[in-house]
Amino acid sequence: MLRILVLHGPNLNLLGNREESIYGTETLAMIDSSLNKLSVELGVELVIHQSNLEGELVNWIQEARHGYHGIIINPAAYTHTSVAIRDALAAVNLPTVEVHLSNIYRREEFRQHSYVSGVALGQISGFGSDGYRLALRGLCEHISGSGAKDLSGSHRAASG
């Protein structure tokens, strides 16, 4: 079974309570529950964490090299500041989808640069909470697509 790590960065625990015009009205618990529901449909296992601490996010990314197939991350403000998160993602080298609720390219200039996008498989920005579900579908398809190629190669070799 595919195992995917979902990470939410700083202040995303406040979702649904403030700045609804930018980030929508759903709480993080609602987003997580819709992701969990989709994961059952897709037959994948999710582990979801939120932290306001950069080092804690880095630790979870590092731990993902044991038994995870991919990462979905909204690094929130750390998107625009964190070389540490970028380095951790590069080090674990798992397919990673970067998600933003808002379209960061329509916002302030300081939000228009992401340290993460250069090491991500792709980025989804501006689709609100749908972005997480799009990311999960896209990541699973990517992994099972590339996994199928590898497996068919090794099966052929093994079965002669």
Which of residues 4, 5, 7, 15 is near ligand CA2 by CB under 6 A? Answer: 15
Which of residues 76, 116, 119, 120 is near ligand CA2 by CB under 6 A? Answer: 76
Count of positions on this chain that bind ligand CA2 (CB under 6 A): 16
Which of residues 19, 56, 63, 141 is near ligand CA2 by CB under 6 A? Answer: 19
Binding segment for ligand CA2 (CB under 6 A), chosen from 9-17, 36-44, 46-54, 81-89, is 9-17
Residue whose CB is less far from ligand CA2, 39 or 129: 129
Tokens of 57: 């996010």
Give the phi and the psi of residue 98 in degrees, each rounded to 5. -90, 130
**Residue 125 bridge partners (DSSP):** 100
Would you call 23 a catalytic residue per the annotation? Answer: yes
CA-nearest of 105, 106, 113 to 77 is 113
At residue 144, the 3 state secondary structure works out as helix
Q: What does the alpha-carbon distance between residue 36 and residue 20 come to, in Å, rounded to a whole number?
A: 23
Please pick, among 68, 69, 78, 100, the residue that the annotation labels catalytic: 100
114 within 8 A of 123, measured Cβ to Cβ: yes
Would you call 105 a catalytic residue per the annotation? Answer: no
Tokens of 60: 């979870």
- Point out the residues that are catalytic: 23, 100
* Contacting positions for ligand CA2 (CB under 6 A): 11-12, 14-15, 18-19, 23, 74, 76-77, 79, 100-102, 104, 111
